[in-house]
């Protein structure tokens, strides 16, 4: 039974899984999009939305500390708080989009693109 199970294990020990997701979030914030497997993409989307929500906090110092606890690069932490989060000031969640992409060549694993939503769409 899967009662009260909140996350997927992704076939990794807990420390490796957490670090992998932190690195994926950092790459997503740095480049604007990431191509990964669908299972990882779904978990990445959850964490990335939480990071942006924390970055939207009124208290800048608190936001930098909370985002810095997840994002692995210091310069990307400041980018998230100062550039990415203000773009979504009028949006309540749904900052990322998941698009099914293609099957990976080596093992035929289905992949997906996770990207940040454009700001033109957030002003609806």
pLDDT per residue as tens digits for the range 82-119: 999 999 999 999 999 999 999 999 999 999 999 999 87
The pLDDT score that the predictor gives to residue 2 is: 80
Domains assigned to the chain: 14-122 (3.90.1030.10)
* Distance from C-alpha of 101 to C-alpha of 19, rounded to nearest angstrom: 24
Q: What is the pLDDT of residue 42?
A: 96
- For residue 122, what pLDDT is reported? 45
Separation of alpha carbons 1 and 79, rounded Å = 41
Give per-residue burial for 24-55: e unless 16+ CB within 10 Å, then b.
Answer: bbbbbbeeeebebbeebbbbbbebbbbbbbbb
Q: Residue 4 has what pLDDT?
A: 87
CB atoms within 10 A of CB 81: 25
Burial of 12 (C-beta count, 10 Å sphere; 0-12/13-18/19+): middle
pLDDT tens readout for residues 15-54 = 999 999 999 999 999 999 999 999 999 999 999 999 999 9
Q: Report DSSP state, residue 93.
A: S
């Amino acid at each position: 039974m899967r009662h009260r199970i909140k996350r997927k294990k992704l076939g990794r020990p807990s420390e490796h899984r957490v670090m992998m997701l932190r690195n994926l979030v950092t790459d997503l914030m740095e480049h604007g999009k990431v191509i990964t497997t669908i299972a990882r993409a779904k978990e990445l989307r959850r964490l990335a939305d939480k990071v942006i929500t924390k970055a939207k906090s009124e208290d800048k110092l608190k936001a930098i500390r909370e985002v810095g606890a997840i994002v692995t690069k210091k310069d990307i932490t400041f980018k998230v708080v100062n550039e990415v989060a203000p773009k979504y000031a009028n949006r309540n969640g749904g900052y990322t989009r998941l698009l099914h992409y293609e099957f990976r060549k080596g093992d035929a694993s289905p992949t997906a693109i996770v990207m940040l939503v454009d700001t033109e769409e957030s002003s609806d």
